[in-house]
Amino acid sequence: MRLKEYVDTLSLMPLKMPVKFANGDNVGPLTTWRGDYRKVTIPVCDYTVMSVAELLVDAAEVMNGREMIGYKGGEFYMNENTPVYADDYGQCTYEVPAGIVVAGDTVIIATYNVAEYVEWM
């Protein structure tokens, strides 16, 4: 999934609904991905439940040039073609978003792991 697809898909969801991962963890604002700081990841959010509207504002700002700081430093800028991962902050397990759906009163981000498809260096 690319950043524009993440934003476009979220924008189809009810704005006030909370967003969680399929395992029940809260979804947090985008951060740089540990595997490559030029990419973003959707981390777990331990401190609050974020709504679709809050995540949309965050993702739109990132897509439109908000400065991001790499896990070990450095300044990075994303765009609509930036790949999106779903690893928690500081993780590099190659988890990616598989889809975003409404389930009851919650928006769910389903993920899958692509590690076996990655060519290791």
* Closest CA relative to residue 14, chosen from 43, 68, 51, 45: 51
Query: Could you give the C-alpha distances from 88 to 27, 28, 30, 32, 57, in angstroms and in order?
Result: 9, 9, 10, 10, 20
* DSSP state letter for 97: E
- Specify the amino acid at residue 9: T
- Provide the domain limits for residue 7: 3-117
CA distance 68 to 1: 19
Place of tokens 């965050």: 58
Task: Give the pLDDT confidence of 91-102 residue by residue, as tens digits.
Answer: 999 999 999 999
pTM of the complete model beyond 0.75: yes
Place of tokens 């999106």: 84
Instruction: State the total domains in the chain.
Output: 1
pLDDT confidence bin for 36, thresholds 50/70/90: very high
Tell me the torsion sign for CA atoms 89, 96, 103, 12: positive
